[in-house]
Structure 1
Amino acid sequence: MKQRFFVTGTDTDAGKTLVSSALLHLATASGKGTIGLKPVAAGCELIEGELRNADALALMAESSIELSYSQVNPIALEPPIAPHIAAVDAGVRISADRLQAYINGALMRKYDFALVEGAGGWRVPLNDRESLATLAQLLQFPVIVVVGMKLGCINHALLTVEAIRRDGLQIAGWVANTIDPEMSEFDRNLAWLTQVMPAPCLGVIPHLSEPLASEAAAHLDITLLD
């Protein structure tokens, strides 16, 4: 059975790409045909004359099914700012239905496990009327929430979950990613989140000096998504 998920975070730099790459790593290692997509990315660099995003490249590295870069990241924007602002400055039109069409095209390939990674948090705008939440609603994929473990993470996590559920989507699981190694009362915050989050915790990723997908994967249990 095909598994498809939308990955969001409690904030920018919560660790969506690390978690997405690690989940793809585990699924690929189990012999599944895997695809990771980053439909819109701001913060790209010119490589051999074309814009490339590090997050999209990380997903490609852990996917077993080879796609072209433009299939993985069809909207690539250079400045590391909010996508809707970067798009206006670049004269690029972003809409949820256009992104959905790109995703559906990429998922025409035969696969077992696919992840669509958002940008920033749940309500990051795409244009004056739509956000990435609009795209997630069109896709109707279960959502994986990455909680960046730092001061304030409980509030961020609960607000994100509330918004996802209000938008009518299922939360498949969540991951605690340690982005602040000096976070006070880490264990008590984690225990509270485990108690109140409406989905299983797929794992707790410690602060990694070198955030490699293979290292993060050792702290995740992908079978909880079955």
Structure 2
Amino acid sequence: MSAAAMRGCFVTGTDTEVGKTRVSAALLYWLGERGQRCAGYKPVAAGIETIDGENVNEDVRALRDAISVALSDAEVGPCQFEAACAPHIAAALEGRTIERAVLLQGARTLAARAERLIVEGVGGFCVPLGADFDSADLAVDLGLPVVLVVGLRLGCINHALLSAEAIRARGLRLAGWVANTVDTRMLHRDDNLATLRDELGRRHQAPCLGVVPRLARPDPAAVATHLDDAALRGLFGLF
């Protein structure tokens, strides 16, 4: 399957720790509830911890648990590193390299087994993965529409607009964005949301796909209730 034939989206964020995995898992849950065979893909993941006696990456496992296609951790996350740091640094610590062709082939393999593929990036949109390519290059290779997760906290407007400009500069379509509450004490939250809606809509024709509050149990089903059903149907062509 060519990259152009893939259906789904590439989920990126305004920064690290803004909720990309939660949103990606919620999108997988939403698609599964509508009868779609979907696969999650975390091409590069940094940070391994022991859970119930097993060494896992939490992001990879969260995506695996949310999908409707039976996949292993290695298929969902083909390139995992021990240290929770920038991936090119984590790779260097282990004497390994991140192979661009391998990541793309992994996506193609999963896309051939599912109707929709949700790919979660690493960190923000432009993160070095090797000497000559970064996460934005990978997004271009995949050619999927991009969903931007905006962490709601001070500075989010600037971060969102800069990320949107970078996405457009790579020739990709910003298909929508999700606001995820990071700072529950954020001042003028609603005013910031209104500005984000206006600016991302006016500059990039990108609709808001949902506003996620801080949840006591942010499982995929709970997060999905805060996503816009009509907007997601438009994103995925489900009418």
TM-score (structure 1 length as normaliser): 0.95
| Conservation of the 8 A alpha-carbon contact between 1:146 and 1:176 | yes
2-side partners of 1:52 and 1:106: how far apart? 20
Secondary structure of the residue that 2:103 maps to in structure 1? helix
2-side partners of 1:50 and 1:73: how far apart? 15
Structure 2 match to 1:212: 219
AA at the equivalent of 1:200: P
Structure 1 match to 2:13: 9
1-side partners of 2:83 and 2:161: how far apart? 30
Structure 2 match to 1:139: 142
Structure 1 match to 2:196: 193
Give the deviation of 1:95 after TM superposition: 3.0
Task: Indicate whether 1:91 and 2:101 are aligned.
Answer: no
Unaligned runs of 5+ in 1: none
Aligned residues: 225
Structure 1 match to 2:132: 129
Alignment RMSD (CA, Å)? 1.6
Identity in percent: 48
Task: Indicate whether 1:169 and 2:172 are aligned.
Answer: yes
Secondary structure of the residue that 1:115 maps to in structure 2? strand
Structure 1 pair 140–203 and aligned structure 2 pair: CA distance change class (3 A): same
| Conservation of the 8 A alpha-carbon contact between 2:22 and 2:220 | yes
Matching residue within 75, 82, 85 for 1:78: 82
Structure 1 pair 22–131 and aligned structure 2 pair: CA distance change class (3 A): same
Task: Indicate whether 1:157 and 2:164 are aligned.
Answer: no
Moved more, 44-53 or 82-91: 44-53
Structure 1 pair 139–183 and aligned structure 2 pair: CA distance change class (3 A): same
TM-score (structure 2 length as normaliser): 0.90
